[in-house]
Structure 1
Amino acid sequence: MTARIETPDGTGSAAEDERLDYRLSLRLGSEHARQRLGIEQAFEARLRDREGHFCHVENWYSLHGLVRFCLSVTGLWGRGQRNARALTLQTHRFTLPHLPASFEGFRILHLTDLHVEMDEAALETLIQTVAELDYDLCVLTGDYRKLTWGPIHGALAGMERLRAVLKDEPLAILGNHDSIRMVPGLEDQGYRVLLNEHHRIDRNGDSLYIAGVDDPHFYKVDNLEQAADGIPASAASILLSHTPEIWRAAAHAGYDIYLCGHTHGGQICLPGGFPLTLDADCPRHVGKGAWRHAGMQGYTSAGSGTSVVNVRLNCPPEVTLHTLTRGPQ
């Protein structure tokens, strides 16, 4: 038995509901589908008032107005919006002595926290930026939708525009803003969505393993053991997680590299880039940029989008190009 779900705009037919139910049960297994969908439905039910209107913090326009007012009176609102559209390219190197020779110089384009409906200008800048980049693999670590609830068709439309300029088959995971209902649409567009699964990349007889877990922040449906099932202990492996919050468990599970986002690097930071909040249950040293733990190397991207308000201060948006190397030979 599967959980009942709505179509993306909430107005679909019963037949469309059943088809989506069926596809998700086949794709995830009935237990995972029922768990993820049940949490989503319970969450959205709590957000509605007696008249059926959404009342989530993201829909409290008075809060948006307060933030806008505070930034405006300090002269920072316009600057913050310009900053949010000034996408930067960050480069980073991971050194793995046991990296297979065929993957020396392998480049990974890391995109995260796109929130594609938030700002048309920012989405267009993202598309133009990544279209010109040279890389071997693109990975996306979640939060494609603007809000944490409601319709998904706008997010899917933005992701389809982005997919048109991405090379080969991008690997993606879901974030806390993303509905499990998005999976069939994303996969139809040509994204490979990893839901506590892994994908093996082969080159000249060598292999690199990319694992991805479902959202560990809000939905708590990550499963590191399931994602790693079948990865040889001696293999080079990379974990995709939406948030850095499971960094300790991932290190002890034997992953070499951990790629994530979620924190936006703080989005609104004090001078020097010190975040006011990271909205994550993790120490600040894993909240932004490169870090290490128990032999595992990690990188938490500040992401390319914005959430709640479309501003950034002392924390530029980014796309990240990682290069894998075995180091000096």
Structure 2
Amino acid sequence: MPLLPVVGRTLGLGTLAGVGLATYAAWEARQYTLRRVTVPVLPAGHAPLKVLHLSDIHMAPDQRAKQEWLRGLADLEPDLVIDTGDNLAHMRAVPVVADALGGLLDVPGVYVLGSNDYYAPGMRNPLLYLLPDTGKRNTSTPQLPWPRLKERFAEAGWLDLTNGFGSVKVRDTTIAFAGVDDPHLAFDDLASVAGPADPTADLRLAVAHAPYLRVLDQFAADGYDAIIAGHTHGGQVCLPGGRALTTNCDLEPARARGLHRHPADSAPGDDGSSWLHVSAGLGTNPYVRFRVACRPEATLMTLVPAS
């Protein structure tokens, strides 16, 4: 058989396969999924709490299906919302995010911001996530209207945990919080939140956008019962079965999403250890709306007594 027809056929099949994968990846990026997980962290005798973890919404005004799905989460009637950042992906996204959150803004909430709340996204090849982190950060694009986002959250009564502490009482449970600004941009000020977690609270939770090990290590050592984070997109481009290849930070891919322990080899009750929940998030870079074997998600965490 002549060589040129074989080469042409091979190239044609490769092109079809590439188009098929891209079509699937674009479809999966719109398959919004609610995950459910039970976290045993409450003191004995406390009623379970429903906590909705939102992360990496990356909202653009044209994403109407995402907005409608997000708006429907209010029907879950959570007791608390934890937002771990990267809400924005467009200069006009703040009112869109507020509208999509809808009734959730009437629920007690806490939040931190991520790099994509601060800086507008740029064109990016999603396969670059598979390469080692160069340390270069997107800070040359225009700033997004994050002060207005903070104002809207403040109007709703949500607690800003940017390099600080706070406390929220939900029914009979007092929750002490600590949070840091985005570790991916090195905005985190760990010294400002260092020290033992509040021993008088019923529950101690720590919040960060990106689950860098330096942040997890400090919060676990300081006695926080659980650490809540996002940023990883669950790997975004994963192997079949959802096995992540990267996390876009120094957290190992095996813990790119879901509920784990930190340190990874610790067990409940170990001193200096915590639960860790990492959300795969709801969005993507708006210029490359692809996900592979990693559907966009929000998580309803049911907190129950540890015993």
Instruction: Encode CA deviations 1:253-287: one digit per residue, 9 max, x unaligned.
Output: 22110111101001111112122332112222332
Against the structure 1 CA distance between its residues 188 and 199, is the aligned structure 2 distance closer, same or farther, given a 3 Å change threshold?
Answer: closer
Aligned to 1:139: 82
Shift of 1:184: 4.2
1:131 offset after TM fit, Å?
2.6
Q: Which structure is richer in relative contact order (CA contacts within 8 A, separation 6 or more)?
A: 2
Contact 2:226 2:276 in 1 (8 A): yes
Which residue in the other structure is 2:40 paired with?
Answer: 95
- 2:222 corresponds to which residue? 253
Match of 1:106 in 2: 49
Q: Matched residues, percent identical?
A: 31
For residues 206 and 110 of structure 1, the distance between their equivalents in structure 2, rounded to whole angstroms, comes to 18
Equivalent residue for 1:243? 210
After TM superposition, give the deviation of residue 195 of structure 1 in Å: 1.2
Question: What TM-score results when the alignment is normalised by the length of structure 2?
Answer: 0.73
The secondary structure found in structure 2 opposite 1:162 is: helix
After superposition, the Cα gap between the structure-2 partners of 1:144 and 1:266, relative to the gap in structure 1 and judged at 3 Å, is same
1:240-319 matches, cutoff 5 A: 240-245=207-212, 246-294=215-263, 295-307=273-285, 308-319=287-298
Q: What is the CA-CA distance between 1:238 and the residue it aligns to?
A: 0.6
1:262/1:130 CA distance change after superposition, 3 Å: same
Kept after mapping to 2: 8 A contact 1:291/1:297 = yes
Mapped pair 1:127 → 2:127: no
Q: Structure 1: where are the runs of 5+ without partners?
A: 1-68
Superposition map of 1:73-92 within 5 A: 73-92=18-37
| Aligned partners of 1:288 and 1:300 also within 8 Å | yes
Q: Secondary structure at the match of 2:72?
A: helix
* Counterpart selection for 1:160 from 90, 93, 98: 98
Work out whether 1:214 is the aligned partner of 2:181: yes
> Aligned equivalents of 2:15 and 2:165: distance in 1?
45
Please name the residue that 1:170 is paired with: 109
Distance 1:73 1:183, change over 3 A: closer
User: Residue 233 and residue 226 in structure 1: after superposition, are their counterparts in 2 closer, same or farther (change >3 A)?
Assistant: farther
Contact 1:265 1:315 in 2 (8 A): yes
Displacement after TM superposition at 1:145 (Å): 1.7
* SS of corresponding position for 1:321: strand
CA distance in 1, matches of 2:280, 2:16: 21
Aligned residues: 252
Structure 1 residue 193: Cα displacement: 2.2
**Cα distance between partner residues in 1 of 2:82 and 2:15:** 36
Which aligned segments of 4 or more residues in structure 1 are displaced greater than 6 angstroms?
A: 69-72
CA distance in structure 2 between the aligned counterparts of 1:241 and 1:316, rounded to whole angstroms:
22
Q: For the structure 1 residues 274 and 227, does the alpha-carbon distance in structure 2 shift closer, same or farther, using more than 3 Å as the test? A: same
Q: TM-score normalised to the size of structure 1?
A: 0.69
User: Aligned-pair distance for 1:205?
Assistant: 6.4
Change in 2 beyond 3 A, CA 1:139/1:255? same
Q: Deviations over 1:97-150 (max 9, x none)?
A: x62634x31110000000011751342243243132121001100001227xxx
**Residues 125 and 84 (structure 1), Cα distance of their counterparts in 2 relative to 1, 3 Å cut:** farther
Q: How big is each residue's C-alpha offset from its partner over 1:72-91, in whole Å with a ceiling of 9 and x where there is no partner? A: 73402222222111111111
